[in-house]
Structure 1
Amino acid sequence: MSSIAGQLIHHERFTTVHAVLQQTLERTRQGDSQIVPIVGPTRVGKSKLLARFADSVKSPGADPKSRKVVCVMTPKHLTSRAVIDACLLAVGMSPGLFKNHGEATHAFVRALNKHGTELIVFDETQHMLERGTSIKQRDAADLLKGIFDQTAASIVLAGLPTLLGLFQHNEQLADRARAAVEFYPYFWEGPDFGRFRGALAGALGFFAESGWQMPSAKDADFARRMYVATAGRYGLISKLLVEVQTLGANRRVALYPEFSAAYRTATQGRLIKLDPFDLAQSVELEHMALVYTQVMQEAGVRL
């Protein structure tokens, strides 16, 4: 049996943001390049979505060195050369070949135009605002603006919601950007909780197809417990189920004891003290609201 970690589950948050990326790519090909911020807390699935989208753009039989989509992991420590050096590495170029920031930037832009790059994805973009002076942050914003102005590519800026502070350092960059796309956890009640249960059902369906015995997303109490365990984040559903699959692999059975053990292994349990899979403890709406609120506050979102 393959791992749940490698499965692509089309849940509502995934399909909504994927559609935005597809639309961005189509507009780019029509000559209407975009700057699109995609923001959300950790473990909602942003990075996996971006990687899946980049892979989907590659046509069968395409050159493995194709640069239609370039993915840049933003470095944690901001220096005058850190961001552009990461850009060069993303297109297979050595930063050591270029004496200064200007030469490095020119080389990167030239490479993008040579390859006909359509989309540049900067992941963990909030790093451009961390541990750096306002001058370095303005330099980072200027770099993004310069790349956008000198190429035909669109730019996706993905990361924590705090990345939006980057636009405060460059009003010209802000004027070129669209409103942020929010990739937030599912809400704990109302229609959005129904979408969470749909996402959970999609993941559990992978196990059902392989003959596993485990709780169902149709069980409202189990769904609430899964919500508390994950704070409504699909990425954490996947992480938790990877552990469940490991623990129950021999018998293909995963009930509450296995989920409880997986929760202790896969998470720090820092959002809430109770074990959500301990049936001796009831899970209430206040617990669901608490974990959602804490995740959003950690991400820098004011509620």
Structure 2
Amino acid sequence: MMPILQHTLFTSVVNRMQLVHKQSSRVKFSLVVTGVSGTGKSTLADWYAEQFPEVDTSEVTIKRVLNVHLTKPSSPVNLVEQIIHAMGTSSTAKRKSLEGLVYQLNCLLKACKTELIILDEVQECLPDSDGIRAQAMAKAFVAIIDKCKVPLVLIGTPALTRILKLEYLADTSGISREEQLSRRFIAPCKLNIFLSHCDSWMKAINYFAEKQRLRKLNRNDAELLDRLYVATYGRIGLVEKLFSFACFDTFSDLNQVFHDAYELSDTTGEANPFNLTDYTYAAIKKKAQNIERIYFTHSKVKYKG
């Protein structure tokens, strides 16, 4: 596993993904993974899929894990179309229906020996309020799970948890009744932000530092680590973004380098955490504590770093 994904923030989610992936029972249960922007959801999805590289044969390309980054599906039909497109083909029907597309998808999944489908940005499927459209989307996910016999990992922002409460009309012995989508899923899991004063935060920073051939940071760099925490809100995606705009050389003043990188990459308009005049170290430590308090109180998460 990539060093950045060895923290329990990620390994616990990977374990759940492996659990639904390796199910041997006839009925396949799926999984919802949520996290605020920048917590590494897409990174995790990409990494998991990369562990099962495609294999080209003379007849077909084997895709054991299909990773799909959704782009605002406008309807259940469009949702399935996007999955089919990720398989490397397009819809063959002139008149498109959900049933027809799910049938085509099932054939493709069988041919490509697909064992797991990861769908990213799934919150884009949900309308602002529950209703007919939300119910239709729920039924589309049920159709994929039931007809294709392939588990799903649905990834998105915390708003995605709504999907587990959506109801759809299930036809049982000719009688329609409402069922919740949650029946097809195991308990959801969540990617959280890092805590500031833990070894895992320092290891996360050093992962990117090593890629830039920088020296490893240690506890003597506590102030810089805290300023990095405030700059990125403890979110791995924002750390990666900050480092991507940083220009290092042998004699770099790291605080100045990150100051300049923050000026280029920040979109919040907040004061630059690497400005030693505007932000005293005491203020930085207080801001880091507030970030943790607000996030973990709001999320109702008990977490030890």
- TM-score band (shorter)? 0.7 to 0.9
**Other structure's SS at 1:239 match:** helix
Which residue matches 1:79? 75
Which residue matches 2:258? 259
Which residue identity is paired with 2:10? F
Partner Cα separation in structure 2 for residue 199 and residue 29 of structure 1: 35
**Other structure's SS at 1:278 match:** coil
Confirm or deny: 8 A CA contact 1:167 1:173 kept in the other structure: yes
Which residue matches 1:199? 204
Does residue 1:185 correspond to 2:219, yes or no? no
| TM-superposed deviation, 1:9 | 2.8
Partner Cα separation in structure 2 for residue 17 and residue 8 of structure 1: 15
Higher relative CO (Cα under 8 Å, sequence separation at least 6) belongs to 1
Q: Percent identity?
A: 22
Which residue matches 2:182? 174
Partner Cα separation in structure 1 for residue 205 and residue 158 of structure 2: 25
Which residue matches 2:267? 268
Does residue 1:89 correspond to 2:88, yes or no? no
1:154-203 CA distance string (max 9 Å, x none): 110001011111122224420121111111111345xxx44222322333
**Other structure's SS at 1:72 match:** strand
Paired residues in the alignment total 282
| TM-superposed deviation, 1:258 | 0.8
Does residue 1:105 correspond to 2:102, yes or no? yes
**Other structure's SS at 1:57 match:** coil
Deviates more, 1:69-78 or 1:144-153: 69-78
> Which blocks of at least 5 consecutive residues in structure 2 are unaligned?
168-178
Confirm or deny: 8 A CA contact 2:206 2:216 kept in the other structure: no
Aligned counterparts, 1:40-189, within 5 A: 40-58=35-53, 63=57, 65-95=61-91, 97-101=93-97, 102-130=99-127, 134-170=131-167, 171-188=179-196
Higher radius of gyration, 1 or 2: 2
Question: Structure 1's 266 and 146: CA in aligned 2 closer, same or farther, altered over 3 A?
Answer: same
TM-score normalised by the chain length of structure 2: 0.80
Partner Cα separation in structure 2 for residue 85 and residue 296 of structure 1: 38
> Which blocks of at least 5 consecutive residues in structure 1 are unaligned?
1-6
| TM-superposed deviation, 1:93 | 2.4
Confirm or deny: 8 A CA contact 1:214 1:254 kept in the other structure: no
| TM-superposed deviation, 1:150 | 1.8
Question: Structure 1's 151 and 77: CA in aligned 2 closer, same or farther, altered over 3 A?
Answer: closer
Say which structure is richer in strand: 2
Say which structure is richer in helix: 1
| TM-superposed deviation, 1:62 | 5.3
Partner Cα separation in structure 2 for residue 57 and residue 21 of structure 1: 13
**Pairwise CA RMSD of aligned residues?**
2.9
Confirm or deny: 8 A CA contact 2:202 2:218 kept in the other structure: no
**Other structure's SS at 1:95 match:** coil
1:255-289 CA distance string (max 9 Å, x none): 1111001011112134xx22111223224443124
